[in-house]
Structure 1
Amino acid sequence: MTAPQRIGPFAIERLLGVGSFATVWLGYDAVLDARVAIKVLAENWSHDLRVRERFLDEARLLRRLEHERLIRVHTVGELPDGRPYAVLAWADGGSLRDRLATGDLPAAIALRLLGEVCAGVAVLHRHGVVHRDVTPGNVLFRSAGPDDPDAEQVLIADLGLAKALAAASGLTARAGTPGYMAPEQDDPGAVVDTRADVYGLGRLGIRLLAAEPPDARPPRPGPAPDVRLRAGVPPAVAAVLARATAYHPADRYPDAAALRAALTRATDPGERPFAPTRASGPAGRPVDVNRAGGPTGRPVAPTQAGGPAGLIAAAGSGRRPRARRSYRLRLAGAAVVSAVAVGAVGAESGGVGSGRPGDGTYTAGPLTVALPAGWSAVGATWAGQYGADGEPEPALVMSPQPRRWAADPRLPGAFVGLSATTAARTTPAGFLAERTHGDCAPAPARTTRQAGVEWTVVAYRCERDRPSIVESAGLHPARRALVYVQIAPPTDSGPDFVDTLLAGVRVTGPPR
């Protein structure tokens, strides 16, 4: 990947991380003489309106939740090709996942760290937001500042999966990390609320405090397994973690604040272990968090993280530790940093497109579409969707300006994708239930039969950007594949525009 020289007004120094949904660069702000993390939406997702919405909503959310535990969003912008980017404060201390890879943290440090993570998630819960992916890769560290150069702040990453609880009943897309994901997150019909985060925090606590590695198998109904704690962890903590990881949400603590309070009581009813400004070892001596967990005692070199959960963990990586630097947790404050959402689709430029506009049609692999007047198309592949042969599944984008339509809300357009693997796991209605638009109001789903396909169609009315987005999906009987069409209709189009466009979507070739 070739590094850009500049993104907006920021000079780019190096790549920090690459994930499925975004790339993060280390930038330099010459005006403030400061380094920043610049997160850019990946090109292969830039055509998808839902991913773009989540990307920008994440920045808006962090901006709205002004709090000492939440990282500041400096600004947002747009590249010349239309992709949005967000400029965030840089987390320079690496991730908890990096540090645990070298060995366990001392029990006292691990317990205090768990309390700080609970406190950061509790800020989100107070504002009606559920995180949905609390894992070691999403717990970061940042230098506390020049007044105490050896101390660190605790940060929580990856708000790309966060969602306002007011819309949680419509958030049914499977999202989360196996081993930390609450059971209800794997149920398309379940309501995901703050108790899902309590489950993730409990699993994080088991990873930090249990004597044996946690079981990564999917949870099963029934009582939570007994937790055998490491030496130095108060025995009462086991019952707290067991309740936090109960299979049924009703059996867990209601939110992160309640879990943190229970941990405090279990640690020592007469003291508040999460209030000190630094973590201490035996006899109150400062503990080297960066070194003490490693089996050799050497500083842990941060590593580059990949995947959506590790994007900003990667933003905190790559710094060469100073020799024998003693990092200490500063427990008075924490921050929340973001990464990108999962569970949507996009088009990759330069994919399998094989046709040219002509006779009012366009062909990309097995897909042929009839183009509305004045529209053209580009062939693509369906990012994140792979067939049984491991190859990306086909897609195309059509619009008056197909390479600009997702970035410019004034442009109408449509994304068309074909997926046999999706058809094998869900129905058209189930697939559309995974693809809600949180800031828009849906009309009741309807069905229409066009070109031999029974389509399920859900239209959304939106208050900002595009006034209307239509999600539609159907099973193609000959190909045994799901055909998905996301449409931003022209503002002056009539009620038949969507059905006419769907009638022009054809699938050719033998079943895959």
Structure 2
Amino acid sequence: MTAPLRIGPYAIERLLGVGSFATVWLGYDRALDAHVAIKVLAENWSHDLRVRERFLDEARLLRRLEHERLIRVHAVGELPDGRPYAVLAWADGGSLRDRLAAGEIPAPAALRLLGEVCAGVSVLHRHGVVHRDLTPGNILFRSAGPGGTEQVLIADLGLAKALAAASGLTARAGTPGYMAPEQDDPGGVVDTRADVYGLGRLGVRLLAAGPSNANPSGPESAGRAPEIRLREDLPPAVAAVLARATAHHPADRYPDASTMHAALARASTPVGRPLASTVASGPAGSAASSGSARREPSPRPSRPYRIRRAAAAVVAVAAVAAVGAEPGDTGSARQVGGTYTTGPLTVALPAGWSAAGATWAGQYGADGEPEPALVMSPQPRRWAADPRLPGAFVGLSASTAARATPAGFLAERTHGDCTPAPARTTRQAGIEWTVVAYRCDQGRRRIIESAALHHGRPALVYVQITPPSDTTTDFVDTLLGGVRVR
């Protein structure tokens, strides 16, 4: 294949990949001094109007969704021979397929990676879109900042369809081994549960013990639960999550990626310990499930695979990360004189609220342990799963304070489908808070993102609030004023 010298205004440097429907080139934008990926419809499909329209649909869909967990589209164009092309953000970290080919990913990092992929697919499901082809080649990595941090991106939506039309596509679509059984049935109904199956197969590939278990070999027999044996350093409950996700019948699977992620978060905590799982479009909000066994050490993430939490937690939207129990906490919510204390955090509880202690998964201190957090709500253990409940997540992070200001931290945690008000500052109990309020569509609650630097220790305090519907700014400020760190 001869490389073109230019595609539109972009100088072509090299070939990135060749697929069934398209070729991808690395281009260079001299005006912006930036690299881009240019996806060009394959020549043998250029006269198939159906395939051509599907190619353009992908670009339109990504442009419409415009989310940091999805590959972004900068522009579309047409070659002199009439073939369309799309100019995409370049995923300079390559694909999951590349990394798996290079060797096994450490189990704790692989488990966190699966959670990030679930969060990305949840964005699609929230907008009524089924991907239909979740494979390692369609999971990409992009550098996100200093220290080797990365974003995990969902790519190649060429087979994705709106839910209203997904089951009407008669062409066989998907990759064997990751494709749900109903996708191979011309009369099958294809919905978000097909993507859950693909996520389950990705999980098996990432987490299973031994090549025979890890290699996807197609759908299991109807009526027989898949047998999944995980690597020894993974929580056994994760196998049950993957088994349900890859069930033959769609009705036996999780209904969507968000629900699967919540289950994965619960299963990822050490056996018998409480868990607070985030339901969201980015890192950490939570509710907990109780337990009483000894807490095992949290594995420190392997540096090459440490993943940046790219967006903030939004309650009842899409599960993002798990947070484990605070050492010594029994997992039961408790209220003492209107306050709650766990580790260095103390909060004043609004009337009728209680709290549960946790640690903040995805945020690690210098010792490699997750940093402290808590959840408070009228029902803290249900907060992550029930969008009707008000509540708040409070996290403390010294590692974040070392790299970001409060305003910069909040800028990383935007909510793509919500409208932010201008940031404001408020001084409460001697702490200067930066506060951004989001108003979301589809009848969901408001989301309040807030952060501050603690004046007594080098740590950032992060509070995400979904306030009661009838409250004002005073409720938020009072809640922030009740956060103490010792």
> What TM-score comes out, normalization by structure 1 length?
0.54
Q: Which of 171, 174, 180 is 1:182 aligned to?
A: 180
Q: Deviations over 1:16-49 (max 9, x none)?
A: 1222211111111111110000111111111110
Per the alignment, residue 118 of structure 1 pairs with 118
**Structure 2: which amino acid aligns with 1:187?**
D
1:75 and 1:86 in contact (8 A); partners too = yes
Per the alignment, residue 29 of structure 1 pairs with 29
Q: Which of 272, 275, 297 is 1:270 aligned to?
A: 275
% same residue: 80
Task: Please list, as runs of the form range in 1=range in 2, the aligned pairs for 1:53-64 lying within 5 A after superposition.
Answer: 53-64=53-64
Q: Deviations over 1:36-85 (max 9, x none)?
A: 00111111111110011011111100011122222321110111111111
1:244 and 1:259 in contact (8 A); partners too = yes
1:172 and 1:191 in contact (8 A); partners too = no
Task: Please list, as runs of the form range in 1=range in 2, the aligned pairs for 1:460-479 lying within 5 A after superposition.
Answer: none
Task: Please list, as runs of the form range in 1=range in 2, the aligned pairs for 1:280-299 lying within 5 A after superposition.
Answer: 285-289=300-304
Aligned length: 292
Aligned mates of 2:218, 2:143 — CA distance in 1 = 35
**Structure 2: which amino acid aligns with 1:197?**
D
1:143 and 1:149 in contact (8 A); partners too = no
Per the alignment, residue 72 of structure 2 pairs with 72
In structure 1, the residue corresponding to 2:275 is in which secondary structure? coil
Is 2:209 aligned against 1:211?
yes
**Structure 1: which amino acid aligns with 2:101?**
A
**Structure 1 217/19 Cα, relative in aligned 2: closer, same or farther at 3 Å?**
closer
2:108 and 2:299 in contact (8 A); partners too = no
Is 2:218 aligned against 1:227?
no
1:140 and 1:157 in contact (8 A); partners too = yes
Q: Deviations over 1:447-491 (max 9, x none)?
A: xxxxxxxxxxxxxxxxxxxxxxxxxxxxxxxxxxxxxxxxxxxxx
1:22 and 1:42 in contact (8 A); partners too = yes
2:129 and 2:161 in contact (8 A); partners too = yes
Aligned mates of 2:298, 2:161 — CA distance in 1 = 43
In structure 2, the residue corresponding to 1:260 is in which secondary structure? helix
Aligned mates of 1:328, 1:108 — CA distance in 2 = 10
In structure 2, the residue corresponding to 1:24 is in which secondary structure? strand
Deviation at 1:240, TM superposition (A): 0.9
**Structure 2: which amino acid aligns with 1:287?**
S
Q: Which of 288, 309, 312 is 1:331 aligned to?
A: 309
Per the alignment, residue 158 of structure 1 pairs with 156
Structure 1 runs, 4 residues or longer, greater than 6 Å off: none
1:171 and 1:191 in contact (8 A); partners too = no
Per the alignment, residue 449 of structure 1 pairs with none
Aligned mates of 1:121, 1:333 — CA distance in 2 = 14
In structure 1, the residue corresponding to 2:239 is in which secondary structure? helix
Per the alignment, residue 244 of structure 1 pairs with 245
In structure 2, the residue corresponding to 1:271 is in which secondary structure? strand
Aligned mates of 2:199, 2:299 — CA distance in 1 = 27
In structure 2, the residue corresponding to 1:86 is in which secondary structure? strand
Aligned mates of 1:183, 1:82 — CA distance in 2 = 36
Deviation at 1:135, TM superposition (A): 1.3
Task: Choose 1 or 2 for highest CA Rg.
Answer: 1
Q: What value does the CA root-mean-square deviation take over the aligned residues?
A: 2.2
Deviation at 1:155, TM superposition (A): 1.3
Per the alignment, residue 422 of structure 2 pairs with none
> What TM-score comes out, normalization by structure 2 length?
0.57
Deviation at 1:136, TM superposition (A): 1.3
Deviation at 1:285, TM superposition (A): 4.5
**Structure 2: which amino acid aligns with 1:253?**
Y
Is 2:254 aligned against 1:253?
yes
Aligned mates of 2:20, 2:76 — CA distance in 1 = 20
Deviation at 1:239, TM superposition (A): 1.2
Q: Deviations over 1:420-442 (max 9, x none)?
A: xxxxxxxxxxxxxxxxxxxxxxx
1:153 and 1:333 in contact (8 A); partners too = no
In structure 2, the residue corresponding to 1:222 is in which secondary structure? coil
Aligned mates of 2:241, 2:176 — CA distance in 1 = 21
Per the alignment, residue 43 of structure 2 pairs with 43
Q: Deviations over 1:76-96 (max 9, x none)?
A: 011111111110000011111
Q: Any unmatched runs of 5+ in structure 2?
A: 286-296, 313-486
Deviation at 1:287, TM superposition (A): 1.5
**Structure 1 165/217 Cα, relative in aligned 2: closer, same or farther at 3 Å?**
closer
* Bigger relative CO (Cα 8 Å, ≥ 6 apart): 1
